[in-house]
Amino acid sequence: MKRKLTFLQSHRSFLGGRMVFKTQSPLFDNEIDPHSDQARFELTGKSPSAPGTTRNFTIVEAERLTAKKFLKVLEELKQKNCLSSDSLEAAFSSPPPLLITPYLSAQNLETLEQHNLSGVDFCGNGVLLWKGFFMMRNGFRNQFKPLPVAMKNPYTGVAIQVAETLLNCNFLPSQKHICSSILKKSGQISLSQVNKALKTMEEDSIICRRGRIICLRDADSLLASLKKNHKRRKVVKRLYVMKPWDIGIQQIIDFLNSSDVRWCYSPLSSLHYTQNFKEPGPLGLRVNNPGLLMSAFPFEEAHLPGQADYVFEEVTEPLAYYNTTILQDGRRLSNDLECYLEVNPDNEQREKAIESLRARIIGRGYHEEMRKKYPKLFGKL
């Protein structure tokens, strides 16, 4: 966005006094001059340039800059600077760019200087360059609250809980709502971690915001990123066992639910149940303490997996048991996202089941009325 900026500065104020920036900018709710798209710099008194010299700049405004955003803006400034320096005629028709942003660090200013670019902030820092004139002022501290640091990878680890919440409901009133929703499901996350995960997802155009409202804009891309970054749960031990003839699955389920253990059907067995298909093989149960189960029932270990009735997988990661689906008979199924990420489509039957599961995950959080109400947030329907 281009706006008018006036800079008044004397030689004396440059050496020991203060710099005065008068700006008209929508970033700070000041009056906007709709008739100008350039900055006018007037230098009075003794200076390296002649008294009263005027220089024009093309304003490039930027909101508070992260390291990633600064590099993006830097490329834009370099392109505009090339256009303005192709010829003398181009220099007048396309004046050199001037970055205006709330805060520029000393490192930002040095980078701008190295690329022969100008920039000023609203804390008193700046670097101005043109032929025959150079000025830099830094050392003023940032007057604005720090931006949340983006999470390096919000598609793995604890941040999967944020993704799962967004997939369950694409439209959420605030990040506090996301955090409280995760904690109510016995998840483990802090508001700071939610904030950082959302920040990166926003930079990746996965989500968008209007005020505090958070919208999942691209569920397909979110699932693809989760799948790409997923690391399979570590199974400490697998026990293939045969059950006694007088012990049924319901007795095992009742015992697990009354014990101080975490457990659920394995993702593959959960997929069999929810997608209504069955492959040969034992029923899989994930348990964080299978030794307790083995001591409670007279199970006999099978010599071959094909002989087993059950396979107990010892998995200690808490996320493996996050937001399990509890059925009326006490069965606990792995959540749909866990099934989607963990089960490999090794055969045609599994591939069809996973594709059906994927469609269900995407469809679950979709609210057509919200997308119609906020089309700019969600993009084209």
pTM of this prediction exceeds 0.85: no
pLDDT for res 96: 85
What 8-state DSSP symbol labels residue 307?
A: G
pLDDT digits (tens, 9 = 90+) for 80-90: 887 666 555 55
Minimal CA–CA distance to 79: which of 63, 99, 64?
Answer: 99
Alpha-carbon distance 24 to 30, whole Å? 6
User: By percentage, how much of the chain surpasses pLDDT 90?
Assistant: 51
Alpha-carbon distance 75 to 375, whole Å? 30
Alpha-carbon distance 201 to 69, whole Å? 14
pLDDT digits (tens, 9 = 90+) for 90-116: 555 578 889 999 999 999 999 999 998
Mean pLDDT calculated for residue range 39-44? 40
Joined tokens for residue 357? 């599961």
Average pLDDT of the chain is 81
Q: Kindly report the backbone phi and psi dihedral angles of residue 133, in degrees, each rounded to the nearest multiple of 5, phi listed first.
A: -145, 135
pLDDT for res 80: 84
In a 3-state reduction of DSSP, which class is residue 325? Answer: strand
CA distances to 32, 139, 144 from 128, rounded to whole Å, are 23, 16, 22
Local confidence band at 65 (pLDDT 50, 70, 90 cut-offs): confident
Mean pLDDT calculated for residue range 309-337? 95
Query: CA-based Rg of the chain, rounded to a whole angstrom?
Result: 30
> Across the strands, what pairs with 39?
57
Alpha-carbon distance 314 to 300, whole Å? 17
Alpha-carbon distance 81 to 97, whole Å? 6
Mean pLDDT calculated for residue range 357-363? 93
Local confidence band at 73 (pLDDT 50, 70, 90 cut-offs): very high
Minimal CA–CA distance to 293: which of 253, 333, 246?
Answer: 253
Cβ atoms within 10 Å of 196's Cβ, excluding its own: 19
pLDDT, greater one: 61 or 226: 226
Alpha-carbon distance 257 to 264, whole Å? 10
Alpha-carbon distance 97 to 83, whole Å? 10
User: How do beta strands 310-314 and 283-287 pair?
Assistant: parallel
pLDDT for res 171: 87
Residue 124, pLDDT above cutoff 50 = yes
Residue 1, pLDDT above cutoff 60 = no
pLDDT, greater one: 160 or 41: 160
Local confidence band at 140 (pLDDT 50, 70, 90 cut-offs): confident
Burial (CB < 10 A; 0-12, 13-18, 19+), residue 204, is: middle
pLDDT for res 54: 65
pLDDT for res 88: 52
pLDDT for res 227: 95
Residue 13, pLDDT above cutoff 80 = no
Mean pLDDT calculated for residue range 138-160? 82
Alpha-carbon distance 140 to 153, whole Å? 32
Local confidence band at 56 (pLDDT 50, 70, 90 cut-offs): confident
